[in-house]
Amino acid sequence: MAADGRKVDRGPAPAGCPVQHNPDGTWQINGYVAGRAFLRDHDTVQAGLGIETVEGFPEKIRRPVLYRDGPEHREHRKQTARFFTPRRVDEAYRTVMERVADEQIALLRKGGAVHLADMSFQVAVDVTSAVIGLTNSKPGIKQRLDYFFPEKFGTPGFTSLHGLYWVWRQLRGWSQIYFADVRPAVRARRAQRRDDLISHLIDEGCSAAEILGECLTFAAAGMVTTREFIVMAAWHMFTNDEVRATYVAADEPERLSILHEVLRLEPVLGHLKRRTTKDIQVDSVTVPSGSVVRIQIDHANLDTEVVGEEPLALRPGRSMAHGGSPTGLSFGDGPHKCPGSHIAIMEADIFLHRMFSLDGIRMVQPPRITFKEDIAGYELRGMQVAAG
């Protein structure tokens, strides 16, 4: 097997064990085909990703789409699919992506080292805001979102000063984004609809509080994860001259192939969780109803039966067996597959290609890696880059 090409070490996948029952009573799926089939099964519901908080919402408040399942979820995805098609992404959002990328590249042209995570987050914030419809915000949306999604989370509660602080902090974060970003957007679209997600939610009868929940869900999915992926892809190219040279000289389809392979190798989320509502047969194993199942994306993306030989090597354009996606299961699959996959890859490419086309672009400081254990997700902070 080739040397490990990953920047983030998540440990080896269990050999010959596509499905396993863990001592704590949960189940774990390590194989690609088994994981994809399970994610496509309709006899499951969302688990993890903050579902415990959402389950505490009053019944009259509609859950964000991430936390819904069944016919209601499928209908919502069907109605909003038009915002995320490849054609829509190219025609409606490419200009926004180019403008935002140019604004960030201008910071590099001024000279001096710049934190790449800050630039990538600004790109993701501006692009996702355009898709959602958060275009009437007061200044400082990036700072408000940074506050809402801190590098380290605490546990809210009412039995300690620490818990009370995080209760207060959550409420403050919600209120800041609601009053400065969501409410102005909702007011503008109640007066005149636009072709964006918030206008669609208003037409569905959603309250402002429900729209806030949807906006924060899309912010987490479309802004936070894209920030990490852009930094990860840049880190690979800064440390691999061959891949970097190929990327800079390539046309867009080949560049996207490189980014797909980076994401297969380095999924931002290491696993997804689902809970079964019926007994489900997975790879000749019966997973009982009511079980919590963890689909190990980081392991499934290394499944040699699908990705081929040398799964730890960064090899763009590799042939994927069994209909495997070039990004593996990094965007999920089935009813909850990430709708913004085309947006994330295109905005990353537009920004990164402009950055690596700069004369003298270099990494001044590599990033530090931290983990969010609940999602096995990495965060990359501290990478500094400079040009000239």
* pLDDT at position 1: 40
Domains, the chain, ordered by start = 19-386 (1.10.630.10)
From CA 91, how far away is CA 352, in angstroms rounded? 20
* pLDDT at position 30: 93
Helices (H), 68-140: 70-80, 86-88, 94-109, 116-132
The chain-wide mean pLDDT, for the chain, equals: 89
Instruction: Kindly tell me if the per-residue pLDDT of 2 is higher than 70.
Output: no
pLDDT tens-digit map of 82-94: 888 899 999 999 9
The pLDDT > 90 percentage for the chain reads: 62
Q: Which DSSP letter does residue 2 get?
A: P
Q: What is the mean pLDDT of residues 296-307?
A: 94
Contacts of 54 (CB under 8 A, 6+ apart): 63, 64, 67, 213
Q: Are residues 42 and 308 in contact, defined by beta-carbon separation less than 8 angstroms?
A: no
Instruction: Kindly tell me if the per-residue pLDDT of 40 is higher than 80.
Output: yes
Burial of 208 (0-12, 13-18, 19+ CB in 10 A): middle
Least confident of 31-40, 70-79, 188-197: 70-79
Q: Who has greater pLDDT, 386 or 68?
A: 386
Among 93, 103, 127, smallest CA distance to 354 is for 103
| Residue 287 φ/ψ, nearest 5 degrees | -95, 120
Q: Which DSSP letter does residue 321 get?
A: S
Contacts of 356 (CB under 8 A, 6+ apart): 234, 237, 244, 247, 248
Q: Are residues 349 and 253 in contact, defined by beta-carbon separation less than 8 angstroms?
A: no
Q: What is the mean pLDDT of residues 280-284?
A: 88
In 214-325, where do the E strands start and end?
A: 271-276, 280-282, 285-287, 292-296
This prediction has a pTM of 0.92
Tokens 């206008």 locate to 199
